[in-house]
């Protein structure tokens, strides 16, 4: 297998003689075939090819293949956004009466999906604290559990996932272990290497890397045997909407094929060809960028840790960080560009600090080339009281910082002058 940085540049697309060297944007909903039988074979999944962009498109395909190769999975299914990737992956295995067991420390949108929206459709979510013991989390799993869900690095509390702990529970019960790897990317960690079965992405973050294209992706690890358990009945019985296909009989690609054939067909939350093109282009420099994000973040974290106006700072690169040891095991090549810290003086001083920044911008986005900050207490979480915030681990002086790929000295200088002014 090629190295990850090579796959970032070369993966997913290999032109034939005379074809464009760069993945072209195939801006077409439909595809031409000479014979009706050719199309029929595609519909029956007997042949591989394109017939309608809701199900497959060559530009999107190149992106899916590249990411699947980077993750070591068997196939990828691109989606319109990270949220739709999570939704499709969940609905592919869970329905009314089922439950999912998820870490409480996950992306806010996923938390809302699991805690508010999915219950309306009869899917219950049982949350655990990432620091809970194996026994405590194990107790949440029952015969209706379809997924154990967590994030490799969760923000803004910057929790590093204990893969072994969750993977043991998942293996014991033969439940799918699904991991959102958005904030570290395969360059820093490949969840499939640590027992995950499905990897979820918001490609809107580091994969695109330039904050230009929304997107998501589901990677099927191909490492879950649906025939080994009765937990996933739908995989064991014929799908009447697909000529009686029994998905478990497909072996390694069961999850992915069902997700495309059923979920994409019926829900249609596809990634557009143009967004796939932009994301693919961004991914060519992913390995280089991640290196710089990590290097910069480490320097910024050290600076903040030693600044008298900073009350606390969370980044796994710091030796006294709660997740430093876990990060050595799962993120040995860098811990990503995301960190949180608190300035002394509470919410007010946090706002003052952010407004004093000159280069680093206040935006809701994270994980792109430009450094940015957000103060959840006065923006995304402003409807919550200080007590509510504390309960979900967000202090009112918490500033979320996404360290970009500018020169580290300039990032630190900006932070320094802003701290000097408060
Ligand atoms: C942003 C994000 C999502 C949601 O992705 P969208 O592309 O914005 O829909 C999901 N998970 C994580 C970890 C994220 O950072």
Over residues 336-367, the pLDDT tens digits come to 999 999 999 998 999 999 999 999 999 988 99
pLDDT tens digits along 135-155: 999 999 999 999 999 999 998
Quick one: pLDDT at residue 176? 98
Residue 191 is given by DSSP the state G
5: closest CA among 328, 379, 292, 369?
292
Q: For ligand 1, atom 4, which residue shows the shortest CA distance?
A: 82
Q: Give SS3 for 314.
A: strand
Mean pLDDT of the chain: 95
For residue 179, list its beta bridge partners.
Answer: 150, 199
What is the atom index within ligand 1 of the atom nearest the CA of 151? 13
Answer for the pair 45, 247: CB distance below 8 angstroms, yes or no: no
Measured between alpha carbons, how far is 181 from 202 in angstroms, rounded to an integer?
A: 8
Q: Which two tokens stand for residue 357?
A: 């920044």
Measured between alpha carbons, how far is 115 from 107 in angstroms, rounded to an integer?
A: 12
Answer for the pair 323, 335: CB distance below 8 angstroms, yes or no: no
Quick one: pLDDT at residue 365? 87
Ligand 1: centre distance to CA 183 (Å): 9
Name the residue ranges covered by the structural domains of the chain.
Answer: 4-282, 286-420
pTM higher than 0.75, yes or no? Answer: yes
Ligand 1: centre distance to CA 86 (Å): 9
Mutate to test the pocket of ligand 1, among 83, 113, 278 (most ligand atoms within 8 A of CB): 83
Q: Is 300 exposed, middle or buried (0-12, 13-18, 19+ CB in 10 A)?
A: buried
Distances (CA, A) of 109 to 83, 298, 299: 7, 27, 30
pLDDT tens digits along 264-281: 999 999 999 999 999 999
Measured between alpha carbons, how far is 237 from 246 in angstroms, rounded to an integer?
A: 6
Quick one: pLDDT at residue 87? 98
Ligand 1: centre distance to CA 158 (Å): 15
Quick one: pLDDT at residue 26? 98
* Residues near ligand 1 (Cβ within 6 A): 81-83, 107, 109-110, 151, 180, 182-183, 202, 204-205, 214, 216
Element containing residue 288 per DSSP (H, E): helix 286-305
Length of the chain in terms of residues written: 422
Name residue, tokens 């590249």: 66
Mutate to test the pocket of ligand 1, among 81, 151, 182 (most ligand atoms within 8 A of CB): 182
Given the candidates 3.40.830.10, 3.90.1150.10, 3.40.50.300, 3.30.499.10, the CATH classification of the domain at 286-420 is: 3.90.1150.10
Ligand 1: centre distance to CA 357 (Å): 25
Cα distance between the two ends of the chain: 52
Render 205-257 in DSSP notation, one character per residue: TTTT-SS----EEEEE-S---GGG-SS-HHHHS-BGGGTTB-GGGGGGGHHHH
Given the candidates 3.40.640.10, 2.40.110.10, 3.40.50.300, 3.30.1360.20, the CATH classification of the domain at 4-282 is: 3.40.640.10
Mutate to test the pocket of ligand 1, among 67, 79, 82 (most ligand atoms within 8 A of CB): 82
């Amino acid at each position: 297998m090629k190295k990850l940085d090579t796959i970032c540049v070369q993966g997913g697309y290999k032109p034939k003689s005379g074809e464009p060297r760069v993945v072209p944007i195939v801006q077409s909903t439909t595809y031409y075939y000479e014979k009706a039988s050719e199309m029929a074979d595609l519909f029956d999944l007997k042949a591989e090819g394109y017939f309608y962009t809701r199900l497959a498109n060559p530009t999107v395909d190149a992106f899916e293949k590249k990411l699947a190769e980077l993750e070591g999975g068997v196939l990828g299914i691109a989606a319109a956004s990270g949220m739709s990737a999570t939704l499709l992956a969940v609905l592919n295995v869970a329905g009314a009466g089922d439950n999912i067991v998820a870490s409480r420390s996950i992306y806010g949108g996923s938390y809302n999906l699991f805690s508010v929206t999915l219950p309306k459709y009869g899917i219950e979510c049982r949350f655990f604290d990432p620091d809970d013991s194996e026994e405590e989390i194990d107790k949440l799993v029952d015969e209706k559990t379809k997924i154990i869900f967590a994030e490799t690095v969760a923000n803004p509390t910057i929790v590093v996932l204990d893969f072994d702990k969750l993977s043991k529970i998942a293996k014991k019960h033969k439940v799918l272990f699904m991991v959102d790897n958005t904030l570290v990317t395969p360059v820093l960690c490949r969840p499939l290497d640590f027992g995950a079965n499905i990897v979820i992405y918001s490609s809107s973050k580091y994969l695109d890397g330039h904050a230009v294209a929304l997107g998501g992706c589901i990677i099927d690890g191909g490492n879950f045997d649906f025939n080994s358990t009765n937990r996933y009945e739908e995989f064991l019985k014929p799908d009447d909407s697909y000529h009686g296909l029994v998905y478990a009989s497909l072996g390694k690609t069961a999850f992915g094929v069902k997700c495309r054939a059923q979920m994409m067909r019926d829900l249609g939350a596809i990634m557009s060809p143009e967004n796939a093109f932009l994301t693919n282009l961004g991914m060519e420099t992913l390995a280089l960028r991640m290196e710089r994000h990590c290097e910069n973040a480490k320097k910024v974290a050290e600076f903040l840790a030693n600044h008298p106006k900073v009350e606390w700072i969370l980044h796994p690169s710091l030796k006294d960080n709660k997740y430093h040891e876990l990060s050595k095991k799962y993120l040995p090549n860098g811990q990503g560009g995301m960190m949180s810290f608190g300035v002394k003086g509470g919410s007010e001083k946090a706002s003052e600090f952010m407004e004093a920044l000159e280069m680093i911008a206040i935006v809701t986005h994270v994980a792109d080339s430009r450094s940015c900050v957000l103060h959840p207490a006065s923006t995304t979480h402003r409807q919550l009281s200080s007590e509510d915030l504390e309960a979900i681990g967000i202090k009112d002086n918490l500033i979320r910082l996404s360290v970009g790929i500018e020169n580290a000295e300039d990032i630190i200088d900006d932070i320094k002058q802003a701290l000097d002014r408060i």
